[in-house]
Amino acid sequence: MHEGVLVAKDAPVLVIHGGAGVERAGMTPADEAAARQALEAALRAGHARLRAGAPAVDAVTAAITVLEDAPQFNAGRGAVFTHDGRNELDASLMDGATGKAGAVAGVHRVRNPILLARAVMEKSRHVMMVGEGAEAFAKEQGIGLVDPAWFRTEKRWQQLQKALAEEASGQARLDRGIFYFGTVGALALDAEGRLAAGTSTGGMTNKRYGRVGDSSIVGAGTWADGRCAVSGTGWGEYYIRAAAAHEICARVRLSGQGIDRAAASVINGDIPKAGGDGGAIALGSDGTFALPFNTEGMYRGWIGADGVPHVAIYAEDRLQGDVR
């Protein structure tokens, strides 16, 4: 027990996602192979920190940094484009052991937003910073800044062109969830029973007006406490309205629900009932985890004490922790 919470000491676990909303029709065998390879690399990077005895926060940031640098995912390099043809990045991080959190939104030159979110958490009095102010803080803290061209990929650029064409022709649909998907996240339980959660995203294709989704909002897209950690991926407006990440952990803390039941009831119950969709990963202090989603696929994976990575993409690729 740690502060009245059951913890699984000496049994570190890392759980990650690379975004829900994956559609088989838009994937090639090469795409699938590259995504699996990147997921495995992220799991190994985070597990190396856990194996070395580092705290959960270290494992989360290590894993997400790998995913942010991988062009297969909508975070960091490979982020989607706004209506104005720019990449706007959001991220958040929460340490369940201390309750501290850091978040950034609307940054354009920060190579790894999750590292800046951590700096906000550890090196400032604030929880969230946005835009130019966040980038000024990044420069002060020695966080890597890059030319915005670093984030550009042709695949994401063409997705924007398609969205703009549909919008111009009057064919665009506000309920077309695919434009709202694409996030990466990680959860870790370290050898001391500490939990942490982080989420990073490039937002939503063709977004305007400085729109910010759930990924940088503590309680909506990211949450960690002594019992439970969650990172979400989906149509952010619905996750914000539901305070989805916190809601899952609240059900664990207040109602005594298991991680799988709490996660599934929010992600596959409350969110679709309200009109949204997506997925999440959730991890408990006892080492149990859940990976619910209600789309055709969700990049996801986990790694335990044995150091063997397990990854999956589509719904039929059954993986421990999957719940429907």
Q: Catalogue the active-site residues.
A: 183
β partners of residue 198: 93, 186
Nearest Cα neighbor of 188 from 6, 1, 16, 8 is: 16
Distance of CA 18 to the CA centre of its chain: 7
Give the integer Cα–Cα distance in Å for 201 and 129.
15
Longest dimension (CA), the chain: 60
CB 43 within 8 A of CB 16: yes
3 state DSSP class of 164: helix
CB 45 within 8 A of CB 184: no
Give the integer Cα–Cα distance in Å for 234 and 94.
19
Four-residue CA torsion sign, 250, 98, 211, 35: negative
Q: Strands (DSSP E) along 87-183, which ranges? A: 89-95, 101-107, 128-130
Give the integer Cα–Cα distance in Å for 183 and 281.
12
Give the integer Cα–Cα distance in Å for 129 and 118.
11
Q: Give buried/exposed letters for 180-203 (b at 16+ CB in 10 A, else e).
A: bbbbbbbbbbbbebbbbbbbbbbb
Nearest Cα neighbor of 55 from 229, 309, 290, 278 is: 229
